[in-house]
Amino acid sequence: MTEKMVMVVSEGSFDKAMMPLIMGTTAASMGMEVHVFYTFFGLKLLKKGVRPKLKGIMRPFTGMMERKMKRLKVPGFEEMMAQAKDLGVNFHACSTSMTLMGISERDLREGVKVLGASAFLNIAADAKVNLFIG
């Protein structure tokens, strides 16, 4: 049986955007089945064309961080999303939070599955690794 990792992401800042992608691509490359459930403010990370930014007073330094990552050959948000998708990472949007945040399925990136909390909990029930980012 394949080991499973699940993550819940509830914030949409740059660091919260990158953490599940780094952890998810690593786990998937190790042969794990990976599911990431985005809820509340984390949902914006699944919207088409989003560019996450650092939080609070660090927000103006987002570009500097992106340039540093590029210089160090660390993949950026879009590249990491593509890598995660290629590795089979499953992205899930919380249906209740979508209603609360006014987000429709057509706003979401291709391949995102919309699930309720109970459906995600069924996926998470036998996961070896559970992480909460937010």
Distances (CA, A) of 108 to 71, 76, 113, 131: 30, 19, 9, 23
User: What type of residue is 73?
Assistant: K
pLDDT tens digit string along 28-72? 999 999 999 999 999 999 999 999 999 999 999 999 999 999 999
Determine the CATH number of domain 4-133: 3.40.1260.10
- The tokens for 108 are 């979401």
pLDDT tens-place string over residues 74-129: 999 999 999 999 999 999 999 999 999 999 999 999 999 999 999 999 999 999 99
pLDDT confidence of 134, banded at 50, 70, 90? confident
Confidence band, pLDDT 50/70/90 cuts, at residue 2: confident
Each domain of the chain, given as residue ranges in start order, spans 4-133
